[in-house]
Amino acid sequence: MNNNNRHLISILMENEAGALSRVANLFSARGYNIESLTVAPTDDPTLSRLTLVTSGNEQIIEQIVKQLNKLIDVVKLIDLSETDAIERELMLVKTKASGEQRAEMMRLAEIFGGRVLDVTEATYTIELTGAGGKLDNFLRAVEKDAILEVVRSGATGIARGQKALHA
């Protein structure tokens, strides 16, 4: 009951000015935690899809879901952590890559299924996608002072199987 579990909540909402701040406001006003948040319009331009990662015990998550549903702009939502789902996050990492480091970095990127997007004499810029944990693992695998910059998109996700969230 008191376990603070990580939840990936995916929200379909009206693509209107202020909708995003209603969600952000709700979290700050009620003291809920937001770990990450991504948002973009969907194939239906009147709708946005917002995915956020939060954590809390069962009771807090229940309240978060109810409070989100109460927002007039929220059409539907799903707690992807409660179902079989695919989670993905995009990460761009700029690393040092000179001398012996170059081959080593390239190998690591390959192992993690990454792609090198940009190369200079001294750096690589690597693109990786995966669940958050995999991206964390990559960062752990790279020598700490080799990392120059990390940009993460925040997690997004979709349910497996036939289940689909639509208006």
Partner 1 sequence: MEPITGAEILVRCLKEEGVEYLFGYPGGAVLHIYDALYVQDDIKHILVRHEQAALHAADGYSRACGKPGVALVTSGPGLTNAVTGIANAYMDSIPLVVFSGQVPTALIGNDAFQEVDAVGITRPCVKHNFLVRDIKNLAETIKKAFYIATTGRPGPVLIDLPKDVTIAKAEYHYPKKVKLRSYSPTVKGHAGQIRKAVDMILSAKRPMIYTGGGVILSDGSPELVELTQLLGYPITQTLMGLGAYPATDSQFVGMLGMHGTYEANMAMHECDVLIAIGARFDDRVTGKIDKFCPTAKIVHVDIDPSSISKNVQVDIPIVGSVPNVLRAMINVIRDEKLKPDAEALTRWWRQIDEWRALKSLSYRQSSEVIKPQFVIQKLYQVTGGQAIITSDVGQHQMWAAQYYHFDRPRQWINSGGLGTMGFGLPAAMGAKFAFPDQDVVCVTGDGSIQMMLQELATMKQYHTPVKIVNLNNGYLGMVRQWQEFFYQKRYCMTYFEALPDFVMLAEAYGHVGMRIEKPGDVEGALREAFALKDRTVFLDFLTDQTENVFPMIPSGGGQNEMLLAERDEMVSTHDEGMVLL
Residues that bind partner 1 in the complex, under the rule CB under 8 A: 13-14, 17-18, 21-22, 25, 29, 59, 62-63, 66-67, 69-70, 72-75, 167
Are the beta carbons of 152 and 146 closer than 8 angstroms?
Answer: no
Report in angstroms how near the CB of residue 24 gets to partner 1 at its nearest.
10
Residue 87: CB atoms within 10 Å: 19
DSSP secondary structure letters along 89-101: EEEEEEEE--THH
Closer CB to partner 1, 68 or 126, in the complex: 68
Closer CB to partner 1, 71 or 150, in the complex: 71
Report in angstroms how near the CB of residue 116 gets to partner 1 at its nearest.
41
Burial 34-51 (b: 16+ CB within 10 A, else e): bebbbbeeeeeeebbbbb
Residue type, 39: V
Report in angstroms how near the CB of residue 12 gets to partner 1 at its nearest.
9
Report in angstroms how near the CB of residue 34 gets to partner 1 at its nearest.
16
Closer CB to partner 1, 160 or 166, in the complex: 166
Are the beta carbons of 65 and 56 closer than 8 angstroms?
Answer: no
> Coil, helix or strand for 24?
helix
Report in angstroms how near the CB of residue 163 gets to partner 1 at its nearest.
19
Residue 134 C-alpha from the chain's centroid? 12
